[in-house]
C-alpha cells in the first residue's frame, strides 16, 4: 500500500519524503498516546469498592462481627467533603447491624489482633473499652471513601476503599467512621489522591463523582440527626440519637430540622457540605463528647471577658476637660470678689477619675476558633472522578 502511495505521490502532489514524514508523525503520536495511557493507569491509586453486604477485599479483622447490611440509594453531596455532624448524614434504626459486644469479646480472646486493631486507630489496647463505649452505630447514606484496615499476614493492612451507602459503621464523637460493623475493620480518613482506579464489582447507581469524604466536626457531637428510609429511599422518620447510644434513646427531631432534612433528601442531596478537604493523616478517635457550652464560649452569648469589658468604665465616661470650670465663668475684674470669697482649692473640680480593669484581666480574646471549612476532594478515576481542591 505504501508503495502504491509512493507511486501515486507525484500525481497527487505529495513527494516520497513528505509521505515518510507523515508516517513518522503518526507512529510517534500513537506511541505518545500509548505511553500516557499506560502511565496514567500506573499512577492511579487503586481503590476497592465494597458493597454493603461484602465482607471486604482483605481478610476481616473480626470475622462475623455483624450481619450484612442492606444497601440504600446513595445521596449526593454539594461538594465531596461533608462534616460529621451534618443533619441527615447518617441513617440507622433501633435494630442496628453493629454487635459491639461480639467485637469486644473477639478482641479480648485474640490479644494479637487487639494490639494490631488498636494500633490502626493510634490507641493502646487498654483504651479499647473506652473507645467502644464512646462510639455510635449508624448507617452510611453516601458512598463513602475511607482508609480500611484488614488483618493480612498477622498485621493491620491498610487499603483505600469506598463503602456503599447502607453500610453499618461505628462513628466517633466528631462523626468520623471508625469501625465497619460487618467485618470489624478499623477505619481512618482516606488519603488524598489525584487519580484513582476503582477495583471490584460496581453496584447499581455507583458514580465516582458522588463519592463522599467525611471530615471531623468542629466540636464533639451531642446528638446525631439520624434518618430512617425505606427500600425506595423515601424518608420515613428523622430522629435525634445521643452520642454513644445504640438507638434505644432515639427521639423525634424537631419539626424544623425534620423539614430541612426531608427537603434535602427530596433533592437527593446531603446538606452542610464543606469547602476544603479534611486532614488525611491518621488520627485517634475522639472519645469524649462534651457540651460545647461547658468547654468554649457560645457564639453570640456574652462571655466572662465580654462581661468584664461591659462593666469597664470606657474612656468616654472620664470627666472631659470641658467639664472643668472654664475661664469664661470666672468673675470679670470689675466685679471680682475679694480673695476671701474665691472658691477655695478644696472646692475646685477634682482631676478626672479614670477607671481601669484590674491587672489580672487580660486582653479580650476571640470567642472561639472559626471553623475551617472543607472543599471538594478529587477522586479522578479512569473515567474521571471528583476534582480535588476535604
Q: Which residues of 117-268 form beta strands (DSSP E)? A: 136-140, 144-152, 155-163, 168-171, 177-180, 185-188, 196-199, 213-215, 223-229, 235-242, 251-252
pLDDT at 303: 30
Place of cell 466517633: 172
Closest alpha carbon to 149 in 190, 90, 108, 111? 190
Residue 304's SS3 state is helix
Residue with cell 479580650: 364
Residue 28, phi then psi, degrees to nearest 5: -65, -45
Cell numbers standing for residue 197:
482506579
Q: What integer pLDDT is reported at residue 23 of this predicted model?
A: 66
Angle between helices 111-120 and 100-109 (to 10 degrees): 120
Q: Where are the domains of the chain?
A: 47-295
- 323-331 CB contacts, 8 Å cutoff, 24+ apart: 323/349, 324/349, 325/349
pLDDT at 278 (0 to 100): 53
Tens digits of pLDDT across the chain (390 residues): 545 544 554 444 556 666 677 767 676 666 555 544 444 456 899 999 999 989 888 999 998 888 888 898 999 887 789 999 999 999 985 555 799 999 999 999 999 999 999 999 999 999 999 999 999 999 999 999 999 999 999 999 999 999 999 999 999 999 999 999 999 999 999 998 889 999 999 999 999 989 999 999 999 999 999 999 987 889 999 999 999 999 999 999 999 999 999 999 999 988 765 544 455 678 888 876 544 333 333 333 333 333 333 333 344 444 444 444 444 444 444 444 444 444 444 444 444 433 333 333 333 333 333 333 334 444 444 444 444 443
Contact 381, 207 (CB under 8 A): no
Tens of pLDDT, residues 56-114:
889 999 988 888 888 989 998 877 899 999 999 999 855 557 999 999 999 999 999 99
From CA 135, how far away is CA 286, in angstroms rounded? 9
Residue 63 is predicted with a pLDDT of: 87
pLDDT given for residue 251 in this prediction: 96
Whole-number pLDDT of residue 65: 83
| R_g of the chain, CA atoms, integer Å | 34
pLDDT tens, position by position, 13-27: 556 666 677 767 676
The four Cα atoms 223, 95, 189, 64 give a dihedral, to 10 degrees, of 150
CB burial of 353-389 (b: ≥16 within 10 Å; e: otherwise) equals: eeeeeeeeeeeeeebeeeeeebbbbbbbbeeebbebe
Q: Which of 196, 117, 116, 207 is nearest to 161 (CA)?
A: 196
Cβ-based neighbours of 335, under 8 Å, separated by 6 or more: none
The CA-atom distances, in angstroms, between 184 and each of 62, 106, 341 are 5, 10, 97
β-partners of residue 237 are 228
- Distance CA(257)–CA(21), nearest Å, equals 69
Task: For residue 187, report the phi and psi dihedrals to the nearest 5 degrees.
Answer: -130, 145
Amino acid at each position: 500500500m505504501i508503495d502504491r502511495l509512493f507511486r501515486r505521490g507525484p500525481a497527487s502532489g505529495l513527494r516520497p519524503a513528505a509521505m515518510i514524514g507523515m508516517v513518522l508523525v503518526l507512529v510517534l503520536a500513537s506511541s505518545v498516546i500509548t505511553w500516557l495511557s499506560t502511565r496514567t493507569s500506573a499512577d492511579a491509586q487503586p481503590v476497592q469498592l465494597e458493597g454493603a453486604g461484602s465482607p471486604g477485599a482483605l481478610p476481616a479483622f473480626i470475622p462475623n462481627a455483624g450481619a450484612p447490611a442492606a444497601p440504600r440509594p446513595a445521596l449526593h453531596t454539594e461538594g465531596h467533603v461533608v462534616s460529621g455532624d451534618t443533619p441527615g448524614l447518617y441513617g440507622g434504626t433501633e435494630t442496628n447491624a453493629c454487635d459491639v459486644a461480639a467485637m469486644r469479646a473477639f478482641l479480648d480472646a485474640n490479644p494479637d489482633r487487639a494490639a494490631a486493631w488498636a494500633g490502626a486507630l493510634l490507641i493502646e489496647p487498654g483504651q479499647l473499652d473506652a473507645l467502644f463505649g464512646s462510639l455510635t452505630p449508624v448507617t452510611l447514606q453516601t458512598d463513602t471513601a475511607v482508609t480500611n484496615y484488614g488483618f493480612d499476614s498477622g498485621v493491620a493492612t491498610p487499603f483505600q476503599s469506598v463503602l456503599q451507602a447502607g453500610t453499618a459503621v461505628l462513628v466517633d464523637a466528631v462523626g468520623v467512621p471508625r469501625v465497619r460493623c460487618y467485618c470489624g475493620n478499623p477505619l481512618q480518613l482516606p488519603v488524598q489522591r489525584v487519580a484513582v482506579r476503582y477495583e471490584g464489582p460496581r453496584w447499581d447507581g455507583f458514580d465516582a463523582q458522588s463519592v463522599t469524604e467525611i471530615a471531623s466536626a468542629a466540636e464533639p457531637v451531642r446528638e446525631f440527626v439520624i434518618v430512617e428510609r425505606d427500600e425506595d429511599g423515601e424518608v420515613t422518620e428523622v430522629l435525634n440519637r445521643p452520642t454513644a447510644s445504640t438507638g434505644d434513646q432515639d427521639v423525634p427531631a424537631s419539626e424544623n430540622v425534620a423539614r430541612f432534612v426531608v427537603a434535602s433528601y427530596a433533592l437527593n442531596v446531603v446538606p452542610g457540605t464543606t469547602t476544603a478537604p479534611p486532614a488525611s493523616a491518621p488520627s485517634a478517635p475522639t472519645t469524649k463528647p462534651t457540651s460545647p457550652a461547658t468547654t468554649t464560649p457560645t457564639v453570640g452569648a456574652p462571655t466572662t471577658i465580654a462581661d468584664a469589658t461591659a462593666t469597664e468604665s470606657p474612656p468616654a465616661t472620664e470627666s472631659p476637660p470641658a467639664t472643668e470650670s472654664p475661664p469664661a465663668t470666672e468673675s470679670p475684674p470689675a466685679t471680682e470678689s475679694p480673695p476671701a470669697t474665691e472658691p477655695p482649692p478644696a472646692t475646685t473640680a477634682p482631676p478626672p477619675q479614670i477607671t481601669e480593669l484590674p491587672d489580672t484581666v487580660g486582653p479580650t480574646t476571640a470567642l472561639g476558633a472559626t471553623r475551617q471549612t472543607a472543599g471538594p476532594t478529587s477522586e479522578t478515576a479512569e473515567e474521571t472522578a471528583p476534582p480535588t481542591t476535604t
